[in-house]
Chain A
Amino acid sequence: MSTKAHASAKVTAYAIEATGLTKSYRAGGTSGALVPVLRGIDLRIPPGTVFALLGPNGAGKTTAVRILATLTEPDAGTATVAGYDIRAERGRVRRAISLTGQFAAVDEGQTGAENLRMMARLAGLGRAAARARADELLDRFGLSEAAGRLVRTYSGGMRRRVDLAAGLVGEPEVIFLDEPTTGLDPRSRMELWDVVGDLAARGTTVFLTTQYLEEADRLADRIAVLHDGVIAARGTAAELKSRVAGHRLDLTLTTSDAYLRVTARTPHATHHDPPARTLGLPTDGTARHVRALLDELDPSGTEIAHFSVHTATLDEVFLTLTATNPAAAPKEPTHA
């Protein structure tokens, strides 16, 4: 514990700072082609903030976390975590962080208390201190009653909490949560969100990866969207939303043929619903822009039956930013 206080004395501007991280893996063993997973990632995360790395499956989120947590070496690039270099000061980085992955990293055949005491002892605490620390964490995560039960008997939410608690035994300065709520029911997800909020309130830097925009929106001070190994966009949730226009224009077409024709003219559509013959497009929501879009897409005035305007969700931001079609990049509203 004193270690942590002293380590914190090493003042750095960022809890996590990374420049040009790249990593490739060989597909299919040693003979396969090199597949780039990360293609130059830069990150600057101030201490005491919650940062979300948002991206679809296979975007490279887990690889980024493993590199920062010193479990995988990057091919190129540099990074410091809690002020320590991830290559040269591997041991110091490890003592300053904790990592909670997608799969519970606790023993099913040990009780919650046994798991936490073991982790606390591995983190360097003595027997009595480890016991006290385990009890404190079990209490904080609402697991005191289940402390003496084997983890095998825990629910999914309880496992995730004991796993998170196990990561906190060493009082880390930086916590990595790799898809912390994947596979959890809504109630357990809410409980976990409260825990993350609590961690942030205590001044811990939290780096989380998620596929859920709602989660990033709710928890993170800042978000970076990882797509295809590069950061496609970054900012606060509000900034990201404003990047892709604030609203969505939904058009319902008169016929399926009309739907196909209009779809072909709008590569920047963010929402497609062929059965309902509905298309969604980004817009700033002004009458002028909506009118311009309607005129542009339906010059004859016969193909669009109805339209409606909604405030954009972060989902649409995400789709816009990660769409593989380059034309789908946020298009500036064309003010006539």
Chain B
Amino acid sequence: MRDLMRDLMPDPTPDPTPGAIPGPMPGPMAAAVPNALIMTGRSLRLSRRNVDALITALALPVLLLLIFVYFFGGAINTGTDTRYVTYVVPGVLLLCAGFGSAGTAVAVTEDLKAGIIDRFRSLDVGGTAILAGHVLASVARNLLATALVLALAFAIGFRPAATPAAWLAAIALLVAFILALSWLSAAVGLLAKSPEAANGYTFFVTFLPYPSSAFVPTDTMPTWLATFSDHQPVTPVIESLRTLLLGQPAGSTPWVALAWCGGILVGAVVMAGALFRRRVG
């Protein structure tokens, strides 16, 4: 957090003789947004070149959708009239968001391993801009995967009944979820000693959608698991997406979901700032 503050603050002591240095001298604050965008462009170029990771990031969501719909779908009774493909799409979208965001941790760890963080810092690029670049690129990658999953889902019978407003709300919620998970992954990346370890740590994030209502209704689970599932962050997000997309009354669930995302986001940003400061000095 201190680093975050330092990044956002101008030099502690402004030049005592401002006349000595005429012309604009953009401080870190003014440069933070353009720098974050430059860093996003960088992360996107790197993602595009990392063909293996990109194929995994796009193929895995598609496979997951097909596996759930065709392998498991026939055997699962959701207790509603909804076709399973329509029931499961929000869950698959979240599962993919988990996998996709995890890539942020690896990217951050790889930056730390190389000397490039020092180069960025000597160009006075703050930690916030560096991490934000990875996070925004992760959001872009995930939205691409989301579009792919949705396109395929429509092709195999996904029939949502959402109004344009509900679509917008659902997408906004999904972006908030991806944003929160990506920042969390960035923080995990700052904790990990190696890219391999970073990949391992993000397992928990990618696992969370399973004990939720993503794939089966929680009332089919043992009581203790259902209790956990009903109160973990993924369930309100899923329920909100599902009710929004199916055109059902969503009630207060989207707000609960949004609060979870906001809470995780703020916590992760604060944690990442503190870890960046500790790790990079």
Contacts of B124 in A (CB 8 A): 91, 94-95
Whether A107 sits at the interface, judged by CB under 8 Å, is yes
Contacts of B23 in A (CB 8 A): 2-3, 6
Which residue on chain B has the smallest CB distance to residue A121?
B38
Contacts A88-B13, A89-B11, A167-B119; is A124 near B46 (CB within 8 Å)?
no
Contacts A72-B281, A91-B28; is A110 near B46 (CB within 8 Å)?
yes
Selected from B12, B31, B121, B281, the residue in CB contact (under 8 A) with A124 is B31
Contacts A71-B281, A122-B38; is A109 near B46 (CB within 8 Å)?
yes
Q: Which 4 A-B pairs have the closest CB atoms?
A: A105-B119, A105-B115, A109-B49, A103-B115
Which residues 30-52 in B have Cβ within 8 Å of A in the complex? 31, 34-35, 38, 41-42, 45-46, 49-50
Contact present for A92 and B11 (CB under 8 Å): yes
Q: How far is the CB of A62 from chain B (nearest CB, A)?
A: 11
Whether A104 sits at the interface, judged by CB under 8 Å, is yes
> What count of chain A residues pass the 8 Å CB interface test?
42
Q: How far is the CB of B81 from chain A (nearest CB, A)?
A: 49
Docked complex Cα distance between A192 and B34 (Å): 33
Which residue on chain A has the smallest CB distance to residue B50?
A109
Contacts A9-B20, A10-B21; is A103 near B114 (CB within 8 Å)?
yes
Q: Mark B115-141, 1 if CB is under 8 A from A, else 0.
A: 110111111110000000000000000
Contacts of A109 in B (CB 8 A): 45-46, 49-50
Q: How far is the CB of B15 from chain A (nearest CB, A)?
A: 8
Docked complex Cα distance between A107 and B50 (Å): 12
A residues neighboring B (CB under 8 Å): 2-3, 6-7, 9-10, 66, 69-73, 88-92, 94-95, 97-99, 101-107, 109-110, 114, 118-119, 121-124, 150, 166-167, 170
Contact present for B42 and A101 (CB under 8 Å): no
Contacts of A72 in B (CB 8 A): 281
Contact present for A114 and B122 (CB under 8 Å): no
Which residue on chain A has the smallest CB distance to residue B28?
A91
Contacts of B121 in A (CB 8 A): 71, 94
Contacts of B13 in A (CB 8 A): 88-89
Most buried by A among B31, B45, B120: B45
Docked complex Cα distance between A39 and B159 (Å): 71
Q: How far is the CB of B40 from chain A (nearest CB, A)?
A: 11
Docked complex Cα distance between A103 and B26 (Å): 29
Docked complex Cα distance between A139 and B116 (Å): 23
Offer 9 A-B interface pairs, CB within 8 angstroms, sorted by A: A3-B23, A90-B11, A91-B11, A91-B27, A92-B15, A94-B122, A97-B122, A110-B42, A119-B119
Q: How far is the CB of B43 from chain A (nearest CB, A)?
A: 10
Contacts A6-B23, A97-B122, A124-B31; is A107 near B46 (CB within 8 Å)?
yes
Whether B25 sits at the interface, judged by CB under 8 Å, is yes
Contact present for B122 and A71 (CB under 8 Å): yes
Contacts of A106 in B (CB 8 A): 116, 119
Contact present for B115 and A102 (CB under 8 Å): yes
Contacts of A90 in B (CB 8 A): 11
Docked complex Cα distance between A66 and B27 (Å): 22
Contact present for B45 and A101 (CB under 8 Å): no
Contact present for A122 and B35 (CB under 8 Å): yes
Contacts of B79 in A (CB 8 A): none
Which residue on chain B has the smallest CB distance to residue A97?
B122
Selected from B11, B28, B122, B125, the residue in CB contact (under 8 A) with A88 is B11
Docked complex Cα distance between A102 and B119 (Å): 12
Q: Mark B5-21, 1 if CB is under 8 A from A, else 0.
A: 00000111101000011
Contact present for A105 and B114 (CB under 8 Å): yes
Contacts A10-B20, A114-B45; is A107 near B35 (CB within 8 Å)?
no
Most buried by B among A7, A72, A90, A167: A90
Docked complex Cα distance between A121 and B34 (Å): 9
Q: How far is the CB of B281 from chain A (nearest CB, A)?
A: 5
